Chains A and B, each alone.
Chain A
Amino acid sequence: MTVLRAAGWSVRVHTRALIVGVVLLLVALAVALVNLTTGDFPIPVADVLRSLAGRGDAGTDFIVYELRLPRVLVTLLVGAALGASGAVFQSLTRNPLGSPDFVGLTTGAATGALIVLLIADGSGAQVGAGAIVGCVVTAVAVYLLAFRRGVQPFRLILMGIGVSALLEALNSYLIYRARLNEAIAAQVWLIGSVNGRGWTEVVIVAVAVVVLVPVVVYFGRDLKMLALGDEMAVLHGVRVERTRAVLALAAVGLSAGATAAAGPIAFVALAAPPLAARLSRSPSAGILPAAAMGAALLCAGDWAAQNALPGNDIPVGVVTAALGGVYLTWLLFRERGARR
C-alpha cells in the first residue's frame, strides 16, 4: 500500500495492483498493435504507426482505419468491459462463478439478438440493441426471481443458472425454426466474434465503458465493505441495497454493451478478475486491473484466432471458450485439492 497525500487529500494505492494494471494495459496495447499489422495484407509496424499518426499512404490508411482499427478497438473495449463487469459480479456474489456468463446475462443477450436477427430480420445496430434489451430484461427477471427480503448471492447464481437453461432452450428453438442461411449467421453470432466489426460497434461498447467504468470504480470502494457482509457494511455507513443495485446495473450495462458489440464471448468475465487478483496478490481483484486483464486476454485471444489456423480467421469466441474451459477445469481441480 502506498499513500499519497496533499493538502488534506489522500489516495491509497495498492502498489502491486497498480503495477500489474499498467503492465497488463501495455501488454494489451502491444498485442493490439501486432493485430493491426496482421491480416491478409501484412503491414509493417512502422507503417501502421505512421498511419495512426496521420502520415500514412491512402492504401494503408484504408486497411488500418476501415478494416483493422475498429476490430482492434472493439477487442480492447469488450475485453475491458467484460473484465470490469466480471470483477463487480464476483464481488457482489462473493463467488468466483458469479460472472455474467453464469448468471444468465449473456444467454439473455443472445436471446434478444436472435429475436432481432431471426424474427424481425434486423441487422447491425439493431442486433446490438436487441442484445442490450435481452441482457437487461434477463437481469431484472433474475433479480426479481431471486429477491426475498434482499438478495442472497448464492440464490442469485442458482436462479441465474435456471433462467439461463430456459433461455438456452429458447435460443435453440429460434435457431431450429430459422432458414438455413439465417441459422448459420445466428450461430456465428452466438460464438462471439470481432470479425468485421465496424465503427458502430466501437461506439456501442465505448459508450458503455466510458460511462459505466467510472461509476463502477466510484462505488467500488463500497465493495470492500460489502465483502464483510451486509450487516457490517450497514454498520459502517454503506447504503447496502442502493449500492448493490447501482453496481449490479452498471455491471449489467457493461456486459450488455460488450455482448451487443461482439456477441456472447465466453469466459473473459469469469477468468480476468481472479487472474488479475492473483498477479496483484490481493484478495479481490481491483476493477481496473481486471479490466486491463480482460483487454489483454481478449487481444491475445484474437491474435491466436487469426494466426492459430493458417489462412483461417476463426471467431475469437472459439479461442476464449477453449482457454476458459482449461481455466475452469483448473479452478475446480484446485478447489478439490484445497478441500482435501
Chain B
Amino acid sequence: MSDTKVIMALFKDPDAVANSLDKLRAEGISDHDMVVISGVPYPAQVLGRPMVWEKLPWISLTGAAIGFMTGIFLNAGTPLLYPIHVGGQALIPIPPTAVLTYELTMMGLIISTFLGVLWESAFPSFGPKYYDPALTHGRIGILFQCPTQNEDELQEMLKAQGAERVYHPERRPL
C-alpha cells in the first residue's frame, strides 16, 4: 500500500463537501475510502453518502430480553429456592412480577444500548488516528485515501471546490 496517500480536506460549507464527495467518487475513490468528520451531525442524505447498517437496535433488544428473563427469574425463580409465605399472597405473585420484570427489562435495554454504542463505534480508542482539532471548531473534514499519482490533481480539485486546507494529516493520539 505504499502507493496510496491519506489526504484531509477541511471545508466550512456542507454543500461544498457534498459536491467534493461526488467529484471524488467520479475520480474513482470508493465510499469506503472516504470518511466525513464534523463537529455537528449531518444526516447521510445531506452529504449524499450511503447509510451505515445498524446493529444497535438488535443489541438493545437482546439486552432487553436478558433483562426480562432476569426479572422472571428473580420473581418466579427465587421464591422456589427458599419458599417464604407472606401476607396470604401467592408464593409467585403476578402483579409485582409485572412491575419488576418491566424495570429489569428497561435496565437491560438501557445498559445494552450504551454498551452497543461503545461496541459499534469501537470506543474507547485512544490510539493514533487521523484527526484535526479544527474539526470541533466548525470545520467539516473529508478524510480519504487515494493513489499517489492522483494526489496533486485531487488536491487542486478540492481547493477549487472551496476547501480551506488540503494536507497530509498525521496520526495523532486522541
- Please determine whether chains A and B interact with each other in the same assembly: no
Q: Which residues of B contact A (CB under 8 A)?
A: none
Residues in A lying within 8 Å of B, measured CB to CB: none
